[in-house]
Amino acid sequence: MGQRIGTIKSNNVQLVVWRNGDYFSFQIQKVYLDKREGQWKKSETIFGDELADVVTVCAKAMEWMKKKGIEIKSLPKETARANTVVESILTKLSKGESNAKTST
């Protein structure tokens, strides 16, 4: 996958940043304690109440990229729409609106 260069966390959700030559890639995962086995585990399954944490780590990753001067490529139409939805959710969450809803 490349060289792991950092981790961005929000509660149990983390975004791992990898460097692959001139490119960066990102892996979102959840870390949780398996109470039966008493061991920490990782999962790619995210529950609804963890989506705000996913949005948070993604937004922080984009901020990090901008601060480092890493170019964010032009977004396809669908991704641009998703980005607008994410920005709307972040704005609502920052205002303390825990029931941030959007239409798709």
Helix pair 51-67, 77-94: axis angle to 10 deg = 110
Residues linked to residue 13 through DSSP beta bridges, in sequence order: 10, 30
Tokens of 13: 């959700």
- Count the residues in the chain: 104
- Asked if residues 1 and 25 have their Cβ atoms less than 8 Å apart, the reply is yes
pTM check: above 0.85:
no
pLDDT digits 0-9 by tens, 70-100: 777 655 666 666 667 767 776 777 776 554 4
Q: What is the pLDDT of residue 80?
A: 66
